[in-house]
Chain A
Amino acid sequence: MDDFLTIINLFLIDAWFAWIPAVGFAMVFNVPRNMLIYCAVAGAFAHSGRFLLMHFGMPIEWATLLVSTSVGFIGLYWSRKHIIPRPVFTVASIIPMIPGSYAFNAMIGLMEINTGGYSLELMQVVMENGLRTLFILTALSFGLALPSILIYRGRPIV
Chain B
Amino acid sequence: MNMNTSIQQRFRLPVLVWVLLGLMGFSFVVAMVRYIVGIGAISDLSNSYPWGFWISLDLFTGVAIGSGAFVIAAIVYIFELKEFQPLVKPAVLTGFLGYIMVVVSLLVDLGHPERIYYMLIHTNHTSVLLEIGICVMSYLTVLAIEFSPVVFEGLKWDKWAHLIHKFIMPFVILGVVLSTLHQSSLGSLLLIESTKLHPLWWTSILPIMFFVSALAIGLGMVIFESTLSSRYFKRGLESHLLEKLAKAIPVILAIYLVLKFGELIWAGDLHYLFTSGTMSILFWAEILISSVIPLVWFSIKRLRENPNSLLTGAIILLLGMIFNRFNVSWFAIQHPDPTTYIPTFMSNVKYIPTIPEMAISIGIFSAGILAFGLAAKYLPVFEDEPHPGSTPAGD
A binds B: no
